A and B are shown apart, each in its own frame.
Chain A
Amino acid sequence: MQRPDWAPDTIDIERPSVARMYDYYLGGSHNFAADRAAAQAMVAAVPEAPLMAQANRAFLRRAVHHLADAGIRQFLDIGSGIPTVGNVHEIAQQLDPQSRVVYVDVDPVAVAHSREILAGNEQAAVVQEDLRHPEAILAHPDVRKLLDLSQPVAVMVVAVLHFVSDDDRPAELLRTLRDALAPGSYLVLSQASDDGRSEDERAEAERVYRRTDSPLWVRSRAELTALFDGFELLDPGVVWVPQWRPDTPESAGDAERAVFMGGVGRLGG
Chain B
Amino acid sequence: MAESPRATPYPGTFARAWAKAVSGTSYLPMTQAQLESLLDRLTGELAGALLTEPFDLRAGHRVGAELVAAHIASAEGLGRTVEVIQLRLVRDLGLVAEDVEDRMARLLAAVATGYARALRDRTLDEQESIRRAAMRARTQAERALRASEARFRHQATHDPLTGLPNRTLFTERLTAALNEPGRGAQRVGVCFLDLDRFKVVNDTLGHQIGDLLLATVAERLRKAMGEHLVARLGGDEFVILVERTNGTDDMVAVAETALAAVRTPALVDGHELQISASIGIVERQVAGANPTDLMRAADSTLHWAKSAGGARWALYDAERNQRELARYALSAAIPAALERGEFYLDYQPLTSLRDGSLVGVEALVRWRHPELGVLRPDSFIGLAEETGLIVQLGGWVLAEACREAEAWSAGGASAPFVSVNLAVRQVHRPGLVQEVRALLRQTGLPPERLQLEITESTMMSTAEEPVRALRVLADLGVRIAIDDFGTGYSNLAYLRDLPVTELKVAGEFVAGLRSPSVGRTDERILASLVSLAHALDLTVTAEGVETAGQAERLRAIGCDAAQGWHFGRPAPADRILARIR
Interface string of B499-511 (1 = CB under 8 A from A): 0000000000000
Does the CB pair A112–B74 fall under 8 Å?
A: no
Contacts of B520 in A (CB 8 A): none
The answer to the question of B31 belonging to the interface, with a C-beta cut-off of 8 Å to chain A, is yes
Q: Given A26-B26, A27-B74, A251-B32, does the pair A113, B145 have CB atoms closer than 8 Å?
A: no
Q: Given A7-B148, A247-B33, A248-B32, does the pair A27, B73 have CB atoms closer than 8 Å?
A: yes
Contacts of A108 in B (CB 8 A): 137, 140-141
Residue of B nearest to A56 (CB): B27
The answer to the question of A70 belonging to the interface, with a C-beta cut-off of 8 Å to chain B, is no
A29 to chain B, nearest CB (A): 4
Contacts of B140 in A (CB 8 A): 108, 112
Question: How far is A32 from B27 in the complex, measured between Cα atoms in Å?
Answer: 19
A34 to chain B, nearest CB (A): 12
Q: Given A20-B130, A32-B130, does the pair A112, B26 have CB atoms closer than 8 Å?
A: no
The answer to the question of A131 belonging to the interface, with a C-beta cut-off of 8 Å to chain B, is no
User: What is the predominant secondary structure among interface residues of chain B facing chain A?
Assistant: helix
Does the CB pair B134–A86 fall under 8 Å?
A: no
B139 to chain A, nearest CB (A): 9
Contacts of B132 in A (CB 8 A): 116
The answer to the question of A8 belonging to the interface, with a C-beta cut-off of 8 Å to chain B, is yes
The answer to the question of A76 belonging to the interface, with a C-beta cut-off of 8 Å to chain B, is no
Contacts of B32 in A (CB 8 A): 247-248, 251
The number of residues on chain A lying at the interface, defined by a beta carbon within 8 Å of a beta carbon of chain B, is 37
Interface string of B4-43 (1 = CB under 8 A from A): 0000000000000000000111111101110000000000
Does the CB pair B141–A8 fall under 8 Å?
A: yes
Contacts of B28 in A (CB 8 A): 54
Q: Given A27-B73, A61-B29, does the pair A8, B145 have CB atoms closer than 8 Å?
A: yes
Question: How far is A108 from B134 in the complex, measured between Cα atoms in Å?
Answer: 8
Stretch binding the partner chain, chosen from A9-17, A95-103, A194-202, A227-235: A9-17
Residue of B nearest to A6 (CB): B148
The answer to the question of B320 belonging to the interface, with a C-beta cut-off of 8 Å to chain A, is no
The answer to the question of B122 belonging to the interface, with a C-beta cut-off of 8 Å to chain A, is yes
A28 to chain B, nearest CB (A): 6
Q: Given A54-B24, A90-B29, does the pair A113, B133 have CB atoms closer than 8 Å?
A: yes
Contacts of A30 in B (CB 8 A): 126-127, 129-130, 133
Does the CB pair B129–A113 fall under 8 Å?
A: yes
Partner among A86, A109, A116 whose Cβ is within 8 Å of the Cβ of B27: A86
Does the CB pair B27–A58 fall under 8 Å?
A: yes
Contacts of B130 in A (CB 8 A): 20, 29-32, 82, 109, 113
Q: From residue 118 to 150 of chain B, which have CB atoms closer than 8 A to chain A?
A: 122-123, 126-127, 129-130, 132-134, 136-138, 140-141, 144-145, 148
Question: How far is A248 from B30 in the complex, measured between Cα atoms in Å?
Answer: 12
Question: How far is A196 from B446 in the complex, measured between Cα atoms in Å?
Answer: 111
Question: How far is A178 from B71 in the complex, measured between Cα atoms in Å?
Answer: 35
Question: How far is A26 from B74 in the complex, measured between Cα atoms in Å?
Answer: 10
Does the CB pair A53–B137 fall under 8 Å?
A: no
Residue of B nearest to A86 (CB): B29
Residue of B nearest to A107 (CB): B137
Question: How far is A32 from B132 in the complex, measured between Cα atoms in Å?
Answer: 12
Contacts of A82 in B (CB 8 A): 130
Q: Given A31-B130, A61-B29, does the pair A6, B137 have CB atoms closer than 8 Å?
A: no
Residue of B nearest to A248 (CB): B32
Question: How far is A31 from B123 in the complex, measured between Cα atoms in Å?
Answer: 10
Interface string of A47-82 (1 = CB under 8 A from B): 000010110011001000000000000000000001
Question: How far is A10 from B148 in the complex, measured between Cα atoms in Å?
Answer: 13
B47 to chain A, nearest CB (A): 26
Q: From residue 105 to 142 of chain A, which have CB atoms closer than 8 A to chain B?
A: 108-113, 115-116
Contacts of A54 in B (CB 8 A): 24, 26-28
Does the CB pair B141–A10 fall under 8 Å?
A: yes
Partner among B24, B123, B141, B151 whose Cβ is within 8 Å of the Cβ of A11: B141
Question: How far is A13 from B131 in the complex, measured between Cα atoms in Å?
Answer: 9
Besides A11-B134, A11-B138, 18 more A-B contacts (Cβ < 8 Å) are A6-B148, A6-B152, A7-B148, A8-B144, A8-B148, A9-B141, A10-B141, A26-B27, A27-B71, A29-B127, A54-B28, A58-B27, A85-B29, A86-B27, A86-B29, A112-B140, A116-B129, A251-B32
13 A-B pairs with C-beta separation under 8 A? A10-B138, A11-B141, A27-B25, A27-B26, A27-B71, A27-B73, A29-B122, A29-B123, A91-B29, A109-B134, A111-B137, A116-B129, A247-B31
* Shortest beta-carbon contacts, A-B, top 4: A86-B29, A27-B26, A113-B133, A29-B126
Enumerate chain B interface residues (CB-CB to A < 8 A).
Answer: 23-29, 31-33, 71, 73-74, 122-123, 126-127, 129-130, 132-134, 136-138, 140-141, 144-145, 148, 151-152
